Structure 1
Amino acid sequence: MSESTTEPGRVESTGFVLPPLIAPRRRIGSRTFDFSRQVAVMAIVNRTPDSFFDRGATFALDRAVQAAVDAAEAGADWVDIGGVPFAPGPELSAADELDRVLPVVQALASRSDVVISVDTFRPEVAERAIAAGAHVVNDTTGLHDPRLADVVADGDATLVVTHSLAAPRRALPRPHYDDVVTEVVEFLARRVDVARAHGVPDDRLVVDPGHDLNKSTRHSLELTRRLSEVAALGHPTLAAVSNKDFVGESLGRDKPDRLAGSLAAATVSVVQGARIVRMHDVRASVDAVRMVEAILGWRDPVVERHNLTEGPS
Structure 2
Amino acid sequence: MKIEPSAIQVMGILNVTPDSFSDGGRHNRIDQALYQAEKMISDGAAWLDIGGESTRPGSDGVSADEELARIVPVIERVQANFDIPISVDTCKTAVMAEVLKLNEQMINDINALRDKGAVEVVAAAGAKVCLMHMQGEPRTMQHEPNYQHVVTDVKKFLADRVQICVQSGIQKDNIYLDPGFGFGKSVEHNYQLLHHLQEFHQLELPLLIGMSRKSMIGQVTGRAVTERLAGSLAAATIAALKGAQIIRVHDVKETVDAMKVVAATLAGEFA
| Alpha-carbon separation, structure 1, partners of 2:237 and 2:225 | 19
Of 118, 124, 144, the match for 2:88: 118
Stretch deviating more after TM superposition (123-132 or 45-54): 123-132
Indicate the residue corresponding to 1:226 in structure 2.
196
The count of corresponding residues between Structure 1 and Structure 2 is: 265
| Alpha-carbon separation, structure 2, partners of 1:124 and 1:60 | 23
Cα deviation code 1:103-126 (max 9, x no counterpart)? 111111112221100000111211
Q: What is the TM-score when the length of structure 2 is the normalising length?
A: 0.93
Moved over 4 A (4+): none
Rg (Cα) greater in structure: 1
Of 20, 36, 48, the match for 2:17: 48
Q: How does 1:1-313 map to 2 (within 5 A)?
A: 38-87=7-56, 88-167=58-137, 169-172=138-141, 173-297=143-267
**Contact 1:116 1:133 (8 Å CA) reproduced:** no
| Alpha-carbon separation, structure 1, partners of 2:189 and 2:144 | 11
| Alpha-carbon separation, structure 2, partners of 1:148 and 1:104 | 22
| Alpha-carbon separation, structure 1, partners of 2:22 and 2:101 | 29
| Alpha-carbon separation, structure 1, partners of 2:182 and 2:135 | 11
| Alpha-carbon separation, structure 2, partners of 1:66 and 1:150 | 34
| Alpha-carbon separation, structure 2, partners of 1:213 and 1:89 | 12
5+ long unaligned stretches in structure 1: 1-33, 305-313
Which amino acid is 1:223 matched to? L
| Alpha-carbon separation, structure 1, partners of 2:216 and 2:250 | 15
CA positional deviation for 1:99:
0.6
**Contact 1:248 1:254 (8 Å CA) reproduced:** yes
CA positional deviation for 1:72:
1.4
Aligned sequence identity (%): 37
**Contact 2:10 2:247 (8 Å CA) reproduced:** yes
Which amino acid is 1:193 matched to? Q
| Alpha-carbon separation, structure 1, partners of 2:179 and 2:251 | 21
Stretch deviating more after TM superposition (83-92 or 62-71): 83-92
5+ long unaligned stretches in structure 2: none
DSSP 3-state at the match of 2:245: strand
**Aligned pair in 2 of structure 1 residues 89, 244: CA closer, same or farther (>3 Å)?**
closer
CA positional deviation for 1:274:
0.9
Q: What is the TM-score when the length of structure 1 is the normalising length?
A: 0.81
CA positional deviation for 1:146:
4.8
When the two chains are superposed, the root-mean-square deviation of aligned CA atoms in Å is 1.7
CA positional deviation for 1:69:
2.2
**Contact 2:60 2:139 (8 Å CA) reproduced:** no
| Alpha-carbon separation, structure 1, partners of 2:59 and 2:98 | 24
Structure with higher helix content: 2
